[in-house]
Amino acid sequence: MNCIKLSKATGLACLALMLISIPLLGAGCGSDSEDTVDKVKVGFSICYTGVAAEKGRPMGNAKLDCIKYINEELGGVAGYEIEVIWRDNEYDAAKATTIINELIDAGCLMFTTNSSAMMTASAETANREDFPGFAVFSAPALTNPPQHIYAQMPDYGDDWAAFANYYLENIWQGEGEPKMALHLLNNSTGAGAKAAADLLADDLGIDLVTVEEHDASTISEIDSLTRIMALDPDVLYISSTPQPTSIILKDAVDLGLYPGVTVGLGHASITDELVELAGADVVEGVYGVYPTVNWGDDVPAMDKMTEYCQQYHPEDYGNMDYITSWAEGLIVAEILRLAIENVGIENLTPQAVEEHGFKALNNFNVGGLHGPVTYTAGDNRLSKSVRVFQISGGEIMPITGWIDAPQIPYVFD
């Protein structure tokens, strides 16, 4: 079995903590450690299993599919094959901490994670070792102050700010300040939204009436939602992942909180997995923020991405998380290409890749899949635009064009 042809049923057998090479000519899972002259190594820490697998699996599939495409159809980067060393972190912080050391020891030039939570677990070591990486989904604390960790796209704080502004301009029709309740995953996914809300809500004219937290394995939020209902909020904002978000929304419907209150979601929640888990009737009318195009949009990268998705992982077609990580693969390749062209293959180190790859990114177009990718001094977010979506008839439909996500002036200890 080719290790990148992973399905939900059979792929996990090949996902355990093992090293995977994605060779230029499509050989099997084994890697010839002596044959690395024409390869550049990158590390992927992927939550293929565990409580966030509904996100990690399609994202892992996409990035490996994209690297396969780059190696086999494009001849790698600057004539060099990308060798991927990846591990399943199981959405477990302790495993992620171990993995980052293994990727450094394996000679990787850079690394990525799917999630802000796993990057949070990896960041202390990566920053100390000057080992550059980026999170596909990120939180403000990872890039403020800027060190060696980057965000592929706008972060969870940017989501909250974009939704809050959209809500005030297009939905709120009452007098005075709307009352907003936050329901947040108890890690960086939730903390990122709270950081923005704490900083911006007063100036925007939003009354934050309560903050409730949940964990990724929650099976009931009746108690927390009952407390929220007692405060009579106008809007409920959830920053979480699809599984717990589905629990919150189903409980909100059972309690009669929704429909009624407006519900907004950060981009970790709003995927087709949420629709499947909660049911189309439950999520009807829910709003969310997401930083990519949708499937079928007329952008240059859509056809090739769709071809690979349908050939290797048809179960992921329609899931926008796959789009995020196909774009991730393109960005990894561009970072390596820039570094090789700027300093030469013989001078590649993680530090050279950061200085001459990451920091050389300038308006790189990821085939139109999300906003252009540019490094800006002092702002380690690589793309900086989002769109607002709404779920209608079981479909996640864009209702705005691209919205700029200006840098928010966080101050973290």
**Domain range for residue 216?**
156-290+387-404
219/361 same-domain check: no
H or E element in which residue 152 lies: none
323/364 same-domain check: yes
Report the distance separating Cα 382 and Cα 143, nearest Å.
11
* 283 in Cβ contact with 391 (< 8 Å): yes
- The CATH number of residue 240's host domain is 3.40.50.2300
> Which tokens belong to 171?
């939905």
Question: Residue 353 pLDDT > 70, yes or no?
Answer: yes
The arithmetic mean of pLDDT across residues 218-234, rounded, is 98
Q: What 3-state DSSP class applies to 348?
A: coil
* 37 in Cβ contact with 80 (< 8 Å): no
**Cα R_g (the chain), whole angstroms:** 21
More confident of the two residues 29 and 203: 203
Phi, psi of 376 (to 5 degrees): -120, 125
> Which tokens belong to 219?
């099976």
Q: What is the pLDDT of residue 38?
A: 83
For the question of whether the overall pTM of this predicted structure is more than 0.75, the answer is yes
Q: How many helices (H) and strands (E) does the chain have?
A: 13, 13
Q: What is the pLDDT of residue 33?
A: 42
The arithmetic mean of pLDDT across residues 325-347, rounded, is 98
150/66 same-domain check: yes
Q: How many domains does the chain have?
A: 2
Does residue 100 sit within a domain? Answer: yes
Question: Residue 23 pLDDT > 60, yes or no?
Answer: no
pLDDT-based confidence at residue 35 (cuts at 50, 70, 90): very low
Phi, psi of 131 (to 5 degrees): -110, 105
